[in-house]
Structures are given as C-alpha cells and as structure tokens.
Amino acid sequence: MPEQPHRIVVVGGGAGGLELVTRLGNKLGRRRKAQVTLIDKRRTHLWKPLLHEIAAGSMDLGTHEIDYLAQAHWHGLTFRLGGLIGIDRGRRQVRVAPYYDAEGRQVTPEREFGYDTLVIAIGSLTNDFGTRGVKAHAIALETADQAERFHTRLVNACIRAHAQPEPLRPEQLQVAIIGAGATGTELAAELHKTTRQLVAYGLDRIDPDKDIKIHLIEAAPRILPALPERLSKAAAALLERLKVRVHTGAPVTEVTAHGVTLASGVSIPAELVVWAAGIKAPDLLKDIAGLETNALNQLVVRTTLQTSRDEAIFAFGDCAACPWPGHQGIVPPRAQAAHQQSSHLAKQLRRRIAGMPVREWRYRDFGSLVSLGDYSTVGNLMGKLIGGNLFIEGWFAGLMYKSLYKMHQYALHGPTKVVLDTIARLITRRTEPVVKLH
C-alpha cells in the first residue's frame, strides 16, 4: 500500500489562508508530497481591504472575486465548502457545518475532515462591545455581502431622496461611520467621492454639499489612534477640507433606527450607520477543543505560529494572538501581517513534513498606509533602510498602497497574470463607470 501523503488542512481562505494554500498546493500538492485542503464557509474570496471600496461603489465585486473551486483546480489543492464548528484533537478531525443555499436548500451535509497538520485562519469580525442597537441598526464591513448591502442602501437612499416631493427628514442622506481606524477613515473619504459621482448621474434634486453629510465618530481623542500622530493629523486635515464631520473623544452608547447616541448625550441623526470599531475573532474559537484563547477569542500562538497547547495546530492572521517580541501587545490584525505569516508558514510546513523543526516568525512592520479615496494617500514607511519612520503622502504613498493588493494577487496568480491584468485595467479604465449604480 502506498503511504498516504501528509494531510494539511487550512480553514479560512482569506488574505492569509488563500495565499498559504496556493503556495502549498503549488509546491506540495501538485507533486503529491502532501494533500492540501482548504475549507471556507464561502465559495469565493475577496481581499478584505477592498471592502470599503465595494461599499462605496467605486469597485465592482465581480472583477475581484476569486472562486475557491477554480483556484483549487489550478493550484493542486482541494476545496471543501462549509464553516468550521469543531475540532477533535484526539482523532485529528475538524467538524464542518452543513452549507445551505440562498433559498435554504442544503448543499452539503455536516462533515468531518482528517488532518495531520491543521491551520486556522478564519479572520475576525467587528467587535460591537455589546453596544445597544448595533446588531439591529448598523452594518459591519466584514463580508462582500455586507459591503454590497450597504452600497445598495446608499444608492436607494439617494434615489428616494431625489424622488420624494417633501423635504428631507433630519436623518436622510446622513451617514454615520463609527470607528475612525483605517477602515472607517478610508470609507469616509471614499463615500465623499462616490456620493458626488452618484448624484452627478442625474439625481439633480440633491445638492451633495448641503444634503449629504458624513459623520466619522471615534471614541479615542484622535482619528487613526493606532497610527503615528502626524499621519492622523494629515488625514484629519483632509477630511475637514472635504467637510466630513469628525467627532473624536465620542464613545457611542446606542445605535437606533434614526441615528447614533453618544456618551455625552448628543444625538447624531443618520439613516445609514456603519460599525467599524474594533475586532474580535469569531465566538466559535473561544476555548475550542481546549486550545488557549484570549479575551478577543483569538487563538494564542507561539512565535512559530503553533497554538500554545497543540503543535499540530497552527493559527495566523486576525484570529491568532501572536507575540511581538520587543513591542507592547501582539502582532496587529493587518493584511500585511497575514501576508508575511503565510509566506513563513508555507516554508515551515514543508520543513515540518520533512521532519525538521519549524522556525520562529518575526513581524516586520513596513508602516501603514491609509487611502483617502482619489484625494490622497497618507502613510509612514518604517525600517532600517530608511532610518526609522518616514512620513509619506500623495502619489508615491498611493502607489505603495496599491502594491499591497498587487502582492496578494502575485501570491495567488503569479507574475504573468498580474502584469496582464494591470495592463488590461489601464486600457479599459476609461470605459468603466466611475461608480456602481446598483
């Protein structure tokens, strides 16, 4: 009997997971040196940092989605559809929930998959910290469906306001974004641009400067609290020029059908509320199979990315709490970190299969970039080469921002497709609508 190849199961095909299985499939799966399986609760992948552009309507989902089955076919791996619901560490099995289609018909039953090495990369969800009314009245930007739902509501709000004979109600055409981290700040600038473009498509009874109001609400004393102060000041100055209303030091106590209430008692009317404050790992991870988790449900891992209580189970990306030696706290939940971890793990899992010890991973912080729509990009570059922390803004910063996504595409498709796609986009750019209208 031929020996069964080592079974690597990766749960979660996001910014980190899909890069990892693609690399492993190319190197091991195709050569039958390992059996590589990806499990995800969705059928398609979208790189999460694009969600605010989908929500604002400046990007078309169909152009950027990747079908897991097709990716699996081309890169020597297997894709299995379904959400992780349990792990049996004794039998080395993961349990996956049944999958139902949009009409509620069952597509796949509850199933179990065996592993020799398991990697958990199921990302994070927004953390509403139990704030009243968030679940019922606010939209989170966690999935492509939510981003599309927000966009549809935005377009409908503009069409409704244009068509109604009576004056606008106080909350109409007002958007409240709660959380001024990178996601909220980028969304505010992007929405400023796309709402103007939307109105220009004939909704001439709306005066964008007078009628559309975007509020960015942050509990901390400044926007982009996790980033250097200079960066935060530059972004705040730009938002001010765009007349985005920035409320800092303003914790939210409740979200209602008509707007947002702040701890100070002030009410901000809004018909569209986006919750973009804080993250936590999915609740299902809390103490899963006796593994160690922190207060945010993240799996506690060592610097080798192995979970603290089981060397055969790795975790990375937003759902993992990974030490960051020499720094306060853990590695931040960023696409940049997930990308670096996936490259590291792809090499280390090959060593593990060969019976060699896995090496430690160190996060290299290259800085942060915040895209403010077409208006500007601000950021800082970090590293020994540039001698510390360099503030950047404008065209060069924009180019660096785009390069993050290009690196993701490169990991998934290789150089030829990335170059050809870039050329095709440059050629067809002028013929595409500047804002999605549905």
Ligand X SMILES: Cc1cc2nc3c(=O)[nH]c(=O)nc-3n(C[C@H](O)[C@H](O)[C@H](O)COP(=O)(O)OP(=O)(O)OC[C@H]3O[C@@H](n4cnc5c(N)ncnc54)[C@H](O)[C@@H]3O)c2cc1C
Q: CB of residue 289 vs ligand X: minimum separation in angstroms?
A: 14
Q: Binding residue for ligand X (CB under 6 A) from 8, 10, 11, 291?
A: 11
Q: Binding residue for ligand X (CB under 6 A) from 8, 77, 138, 141?
A: 141
If one counts every other C-beta atom within 10 angstroms of the C-beta of residue 344, the result is: 20
Q: Binding residue for ligand X (CB under 6 A) from 16, 76, 367, 398?
A: 16
- What amino acid is encoded at 223 in this protein? I
Angle at the Cα of 399 (from 362 to 193), degrees rounded to 5?
115
Q: Which residue has the tokens 């803004």?
A: 393
* 239 lines the binding site for ligand X (CB under 6 A): no
Helix, strand or coil for residue 40? strand
Identity of the residue, 17 or 29, whose beta carbon is nearer to ligand X in the bound complex: 17
Binding span for ligand X by CB under 6 A among 106-114, 115-123, 207-215, 321-329: 115-123
* 317 lines the binding site for ligand X (CB under 6 A): yes
Task: Scan residues 330-349 and list those touching ligand X (CB under 6 A).
Answer: 333-336, 338
Q: CB of residue 371 vs ligand X: minimum separation in angstroms?
A: 7
Size of the site for ligand X (CB under 6 A): 34
User: Which residue's beta carbon is nearest to the bound ligand X?
Assistant: 14
* 84 lines the binding site for ligand X (CB under 6 A): yes
Binding mask 255-284 for ligand X (x = CB under 6 A): ---------------------------x-x
Q: Binding residue for ligand X (CB under 6 A) from 190, 310, 318, 393?
A: 318
Task: Tell me, letter by letter, the H, E, C secondary structure of 1-21.
Answer: CCCCCEEEEEECCCCCHHHHH
Q: Binding residue for ligand X (CB under 6 A) from 77, 176, 182, 227?
A: 182
Binding span for ligand X by CB under 6 A among 98-106, 118-126, 213-221, 266-274: 118-126
Q: CB of residue 230 vs ligand X: minimum separation in angstroms?
A: 18
Binding span for ligand X by CB under 6 A among 167-175, 197-205, 317-325, 390-398: 317-325
Q: Which residue has the tokens 């960015």?
A: 216
Identity of the residue, 45 or 193, whose beta carbon is nearer to ligand X in the bound complex: 45
* 12 lines the binding site for ligand X (CB under 6 A): yes
**Any idea of the CA torsion for 429, 419, 43, 428, to the nearest 10 degrees?**
10
Identity of the residue, 76 or 333, whose beta carbon is nearer to ligand X in the bound complex: 333
Binding span for ligand X by CB under 6 A among 12-20, 104-112, 303-311, 377-385: 12-20
Asked if residues 124 and 281 have their Cβ atoms less than 8 Å apart, the reply is yes
Q: Binding residue for ligand X (CB under 6 A) from 71, 172, 183, 298?
A: 183
Q: Binding residue for ligand X (CB under 6 A) from 25, 57, 76, 123?
A: 123
Identity of the residue, 123 or 398, whose beta carbon is nearer to ligand X in the bound complex: 123
Q: Which residue has the tokens 């619901």?
A: 85
* 306 lines the binding site for ligand X (CB under 6 A): no
Enter the tokens of residue 58: 């400046």
Asked if residues 20 and 345 have their Cβ atoms less than 8 Å apart, the reply is yes
If one counts every other C-beta atom within 10 angstroms of the C-beta of residue 25, the result is: 25
Asked if residues 134 and 257 have their Cβ atoms less than 8 Å apart, the reply is no
Identity of the residue, 120 or 206, whose beta carbon is nearer to ligand X in the bound complex: 120
Pairwise CA distance, residues 108 & 111, whole Å: 8
If one counts every other C-beta atom within 10 angstroms of the C-beta of residue 305, the result is: 24
Q: Binding residue for ligand X (CB under 6 A) from 8, 24, 35, 48?
A: 48
Q: CB of residue 373 vs ligand X: minimum separation in angstroms?
A: 13
Identity of the residue, 284 or 420, whose beta carbon is nearer to ligand X in the bound complex: 284
Report the candidate in 180, 297, 281, 188 with the shortest Cα–Cα distance to residue 241: 188
- Sign of the CA dihedral running 41, 42, 43, 45: negative
Q: Binding residue for ligand X (CB under 6 A) from 39, 87, 155, 301?
A: 39
- 192 — alpha (psi -120 to 50), left (phi > 0) or beta? alpha
Pairwise CA distance, residues 109 & 100, whole Å: 9
Angle at the Cα of 385 (from 383 to 389), degrees rounded to 5?
40
* 121 lines the binding site for ligand X (CB under 6 A): yes
DSSP 57-102: TSS-HHHH-EEHHHHHHHTT-EEEES-EEEEETTTTEEEE--EE-T
Pairwise CA distance, residues 413 & 45, whole Å: 13
Residues that bind ligand X (CB under 6 A): 11-17, 39-42, 45, 48-49, 51-52, 83-84, 121-123, 141, 182-183, 282, 284, 317-319, 333-336, 338
